[in-house]
Amino acid sequence: MTGRIGIFALALPIALAAHPMGNFSVSHYSRLHFKSGAVEVTYVLDLAEIPAFQLLGNWQIDWKNQDDLSAKSTQQAPEWLDNVDLMQAGRRLPLHIQFVQPRATEGAGGLPVLRIAVQASAVVKPGDVTYEDRNFPGRAGWKEIVIDHDSGVAIAKSSQSVTDISKALTVYPTDPGINQPQDLTAQVDGYTVRPVTAPVATSSRHVTELPAPVAPAPVTESRPFSQRSSQGPGAVVRGDFLSKMLQRKQLGGGLLLLGIFAAFGLGAMHALSPGHGKTIVAAYLVGSRGTLKHAGLLGFTVTFTHTFTVFLIGLGTLFFQQYFVAEKVVSVLGTVSGLSIVSVGLFLLYQRSKSLMEGAGVHLHSHEGYFHSHDVQPRRTRIAELRAAESLVDDGLVHSHGGSTHSHVIEGEITPGSLIALGISGGIVPCPSALILMLSAIALGRPAVGLILLVAFSTGLALVLMACGAVAIYAKSLMPRSEGFTRRPLLRLIPVFSAVVVICLGLVMTGVSAGWVQSLRFLS
């Protein structure tokens, strides 16, 4: 027990002497220089006082003896390069050491610091190359990779640029505005040996577009930072059919159609999992004079909103990835959705409670004709009422006598506003699967295909929601039609109760999305 969040376990130096990266740091530098048919690797390690002490302890030499230092460094260099993976087409390219250059200087407290440079080369064919340095994992330090090439070769795209900030670990800028790189992996795409005339581009450190006269440069890499080191390009969706399909170079019509069906099915299956507003839709339609048309409009709104949201987030992630966290936006949208559902519920509750209260006072009528009022909902227009009556004749809670039709159950009004608001609420929160699908498509330079698949996915999702609404409407129609039954007080409360259900579900959704309620804890 050494402390807690906010307290560090060890009082370390106030001002670090000698080594600018700290006394226990190990700094890495790799320069990959592409030539015709080969890549030259300059690999430098800079060991501060403590790791230098440990290494020299293992070597058991006097650091001031340059001959011993050279001999031991040369002996050790192959081991370090064993932990450096230069890969092409799944195969490790053997690195041939040309020379090793160690240098020991006096650091803090008279202790040595070591800088060892290893020059090596490997034969490389045209194509993509990856690089990973696995030495001293997790150890603090400067970690820089530089990628450049001769004028006789070209690189379509590389993860690092020619900018050499530390000058091969000889200068460590301390200006907080200069980024301390932490790169141990690199990716070089489209290495070719055709001559080029354009100069080497120097752009941002993370993604550099280099001139590629032979093949057109692919779109800028759009993977989120968190995925850069762990996954290969385009492998945003791992393993599933759609991701594999997206990664194919050629997409035939048949394959695309298959993909559309798969996306549709995935969307439908996804809608069946918890949290897609099925209960809310059902509760709304049960309590209102919902019809299949309403369920259809609801489904359309959900599809449109879902597609639009996912596409927008995909683009946001592409262009504003440094400021934009898709996962967080999803939770924001979840909160928005939850709050709007609450507002819909509150509106329904107000509307239906008012109707119930007024109904209790005015709806005292007799079917023998002594009293008869239809002013339960005074704001309703006659035209709307007539239209509603047409669709509600099938409803078990509506009956006719003397040519006039009315219901004894206080029901809410279906308005386009509430229906669209509910649809937006249902579709605004993007399903992670759809989002990943879209991001994959954008990353692979196929936004149009992604959009088509996304529409299919959203349609599948919406269809299940519509089916839920239809089931609710059908279930409602199965209720007894007798007047005695429909006049039961409990039955008259159903619409009000359903509005409360909508509010509660909206509140839960808001709480979970905003992080105020633990979803698992709530469910348990």
Partner 1 sequence: MMPFLLALLLSAVFAFGQTRVSLKAQLTADERIVAEEIRLKAQPDNPEVQASLASAFIQKVRETTDFAYLNRASVLVDRMLAADPQNYDGIRLSAEIETHRHNFPHAAELAARLLQRNPSDSGAMGMLGDCLMEMGQYDKAGKMYERMLASSPNLASYNRIAYQQFVSGESEKSIDWMGMAIQSGGVTPENLAWCLVEFGDMLFKTGRTADAHAAYLQAIEALPGYHRAYAALGREAAATGKFEEAEVDFMKAQAVIPLPEYAGSLEAIYTKLGDKAKSLEQRNLVDVIDKLARVNGEKGNRMIALVYANENREPQRAMAWMEGELDTRKDVYTYDALSWVLFRAGKQHEAETASRTALAMHTPEPMFLYHAGVIALAGGKNQDGRDLLKQALALNPEFSYPEAQDARERLN
Give the footprint of partner 1 on residues 337-376 (CB under 8 A): 339-340, 343-344, 347
Q: Which is nearer to partner 1, 341 or 410 (CB)?
A: 341
Question: CB count, 10 Å around CB of 89?
Answer: 10
Q: Compute the distance between CA of residue 347 and CA of residue 74 in angstroms, rounded to an integer.
A: 78
The amino acid occupying position 242 is: L
Length of the chain: 524
Q: Is 24 in the site for partner 1 (CB under 8 A)?
A: yes
Q: Which is nearer to partner 1, 168 or 346 (CB)?
A: 346
Find the part of the chain contacting partner 1 (CB under 8 A) among 335-343, 382-390, 394-402, 442-450. Answer: 335-343
Nearest to 168 by CA among 34, 18, 29, 32: 29
Q: Compute the distance between CA of residue 301 and CA of residue 510 in angstroms, rounded to an integer.
A: 21
Q: Is 523 in the site for partner 1 (CB under 8 A)?
A: no
Q: Which is nearer to partner 1, 25 or 30 (CB)?
A: 25
The torsion angles phi and psi of 43, rounded to 5 degrees, stand at -115, 120
Q: Is 10 in the site for partner 1 (CB under 8 A)?
A: yes
Q: Is 519 in the site for partner 1 (CB under 8 A)?
A: no
Nearest to 271 by CA among 438, 464, 454: 464
Q: Is 415 in the site for partner 1 (CB under 8 A)?
A: yes
Q: Is 22 in the site for partner 1 (CB under 8 A)?
A: yes
Q: Is 14 in the site for partner 1 (CB under 8 A)?
A: yes
Q: Is 315 in the site for partner 1 (CB under 8 A)?
A: no
Residue 487 DSSP class = T
Find the part of the chain contacting partner 1 (CB under 8 A) among 65-73, 171-179, 280-288, 451-459. Answer: 171-179
Q: Is 180 in the site for partner 1 (CB under 8 A)?
A: yes
**Token digits for 276?**
């897609």
Q: Is 109 in the site for partner 1 (CB under 8 A)?
A: yes
Considering only residues 424, 435, 439, 464, which one is a binding residue for partner 1 as defined by CB under 8 A? 424
Q: Which is nearer to partner 1, 112 or 359 (CB)?
A: 112
Nearest to 123 by CA among 76, 85, 83, 86: 86
**Nearest approach, Cβ of 16 to partner 1 (angstroms)?**
6
Considering only residues 179, 202, 203, 400, which one is a binding residue for partner 1 as defined by CB under 8 A? 179
**Nearest approach, Cβ of 348 to partner 1 (angstroms)?**
11
Distances in whole angstroms, Cα of residue 360 to Cα of each of 165, 487, 507: 80, 11, 29
Considering only residues 197, 322, 366, 381, which one is a binding residue for partner 1 as defined by CB under 8 A? 322
Question: CB count, 10 Å around CB of 304?
Answer: 17
Q: Is 5 in the site for partner 1 (CB under 8 A)?
A: yes
Q: Is 91 in the site for partner 1 (CB under 8 A)?
A: no
Q: Which is nearer to partner 1, 103 or 228 (CB)?
A: 228
Site string for partner 1, 113-152 (x = CB under 8 A): -----------------------xxxxxx-----------
Q: Is 521 in the site for partner 1 (CB under 8 A)?
A: yes
Find the part of the chain contacting partner 1 (CB under 8 A) among 49-57, 87-95, 262-270, 368-376. Answer: 49-57
**Nearest approach, Cβ of 318 to partner 1 (angstroms)?**
15
Distances in whole angstroms, Cα of residue 1 to Cα of each of 6, 7, 10, 11: 14, 11, 12, 15
Distances in whole angstroms, Cα of residue 96 to Cα of each of 92, 119, 385: 12, 8, 86
* Residues 6 or more apart whose Cβ sits within 8 Å of residue 176: none
Helix pair angle (292-319, 326-362), 10° resolution: 150
**Token digits for 211?**
């001139």
* Residues 6 or more apart whose Cβ sits within 8 Å of residue 432: 330
Size of the site for partner 1 (CB under 8 A): 76
Q: Is 79 in the site for partner 1 (CB under 8 A)?
A: no
Helix pair angle (447-477, 432-443), 10° resolution: 160
Nearest to 422 by CA among 303, 298, 308: 298
Find the part of the chain contacting partner 1 (CB under 8 A) among 4-12, 210-218, 361-369, 496-504. Answer: 4-12
Q: Is 483 in the site for partner 1 (CB under 8 A)?
A: no
* Residues 6 or more apart whose Cβ sits within 8 Å of residue 522: 508, 511, 512
Q: Compute the distance between CA of residue 316 and CA of residue 320 in angstroms, rounded to an integer.
A: 5
**Nearest approach, Cβ of 436 to partner 1 (angstroms)?**
17
Considering only residues 207, 389, 420, 479, which one is a binding residue for partner 1 as defined by CB under 8 A? 420
Site string for partner 1, 213-232 (x = CB under 8 A): ------------xx------
Considering only residues 174, 197, 366, 524, which one is a binding residue for partner 1 as defined by CB under 8 A? 174
Q: Is 379 in the site for partner 1 (CB under 8 A)?
A: no
Considering only residues 303, 335, 407, 486, which one is a binding residue for partner 1 as defined by CB under 8 A? 335
Q: Compute the distance between CA of residue 318 and CA of residue 220 in angstroms, rounded to an integer.
A: 9
Degrees to nearest 5, angle at CA 56 with 55 and 62: 170
